[in-house]
Amino acid sequence: MEIKELGHVVLYVRSLEASRRFYRDVLGWREIGSFGQVGAAFSAGRTHHELLLLEVGAQAQPIPEGRRVGMYHFGLKIGTTDDELRAAVRELQEKGVPIMGASDHTVTHSLYIEDPDGNEIELYIDVQPEIWREQPMAVMAPVKRLQL
């Protein structure tokens, strides 16, 4: 077997409407369909869907703090230039979304935010893709503070 690409992410959410507004209105994903009041699918146009949200209700257990097993974050590529990242910073600030961090990973420049349920999301740009294509270990470079 050979994995060709990561296809999609499915998230359990407390409130479908709150998450729908975040992923559609803040991050700009196109909603392509819904399952009534239970779920919604989104696509950036790469495939049939990249994100599926399933409502589990307000009483669902929160993501535990600290070290835990499970997803740390997922990354969304938003462009190829620092100007696009700067524009994302301005847009997030205008929409009241806190930026939890910003990192220079050598192969990417990244911002970190959380969705309404506390799922961490990395918004990133590729920095000189030839670096990681020609030197795959560049992804292991020490993380530096991002200067935008």
SS3 75: strand
Task: Determine the pLDDT at residue 39.
Answer: 97
3-class state of residue 93 by DSSP: helix
CA–CA dist 22, 52 (Å, integer): 13
Average pLDDT, the chain: 94
Q: Tell me the whole-structure pTM to 2 decimals.
A: 0.92
Q: 72-148 sits in which CATH class?
A: alpha beta
Pick from 30, 124, 36: nearest CA to 73: 124
Q: Structural domain boundaries of the chain?
A: 1-58, 72-148
For the chain, state the CA radius of gyration: 16
What is the average per-residue pLDDT within 61-85? 93
Residue with tokens 């690409």: 5
Mean pLDDT, residues 26-32? 96
Task: Give yes or no for a contact between 44 and 29, defined as CB atoms under 8 angstroms apart.
Answer: yes
**The domains spanning 1-58 and 72-148 adopt the same CATH topology:** yes
**CATH architecture of the domain covering 1-58:** Roll (3.10)
Q: Residue 123 class from Cβ within 10 Å (0-12 exposed, 13-18 middle, 19+ buried)?
A: buried
pLDDT value for 132: 79
Instruction: Please give the share of the chain, as a percent, with pLDDT higher than 70.
Output: 100
Task: Please write the tens of the pLDDT for every residue from 112-138.
Answer: 999 999 999 999 999 877 787 888 888
- Per-residue pLDDT, 3: 85
